[in-house]
A = this chain, B = another copy of it.
Amino acid sequence: MTVPGKNLESFTIGRLSRETGCKIPTIRYYEQIGLLPEPGRSAGNQRVYGPKHLSRLAFIRHSRKLGFSQAEIRQLLNLSDHPEQPCAEVNAIAQRHLDEVNRRIERLESLKGELERMVHACQGGKVGDCRVIDTLADLAHGQCLSPRH
């Protein structure tokens, strides 16, 4: 039997923050946008969390660290709430994300190339002769990539 009226595993937002490494305002923000369910409240109106909140927040944080967007995380959370369904969709989201990461890497590699050419071309004289400034000023040089990195 557990102590009546008191949840064995319940804690404040501060402890949730410490355990997940997620800042307090961010936790409240996740609640606000509906990623985290609203927790119970103490008599004095303070949030009271349980283990389910902890694991859900952990899921969210890990997903964010892997670069999934809020929208993707919403889908993934939805799917993880329905363990009976086939996981093809989960995999599709992850695969799409992986593809996107690969595209970003490609873009950054080509960016890196252009930046290196630019930096190496500069001989360290006056700004007036600087190849970096020259290259940047060159509109026609614009077969470089889209602004998304």
Which residues of A80-132 are within 8 A (CB) of B? 80, 82-88, 90-91, 94-95, 97-98, 101-102, 104-105, 108-109, 111-112, 114-116, 118-119, 122, 124-130, 132
A17 interface contact, C-beta 8 A: no
Cα A115 to Cα B66 in complex, Å, equals: 8
Interchain CB contact (< 8 A) of A149 among B98, B104, B141: B104
Q: Which residues of B contact A114 (CB under 8 A)?
A: 66
A58 to B128, CA, bound (A): 18
Interface-centre pick from A64, A129, A135 (highest chain B CB count, 10 A) = A135
Q: How many residues of A contact B (CB 8 A)?
A: 63
Question: For the complex, what is the distance from the CA of A132 to the CA of B64, rounded to whole Å?
Answer: 14
Chain B neighbourhood of A122, CB < 8 A: 87, 90-91, 94
What would be 10 A-B contacts, judged by CB atoms less than 8 Å apart?
Answer: A63-B136, A65-B147, A66-B111, A76-B133, A79-B133, A84-B127, A85-B126, A98-B115, A98-B119, A101-B108
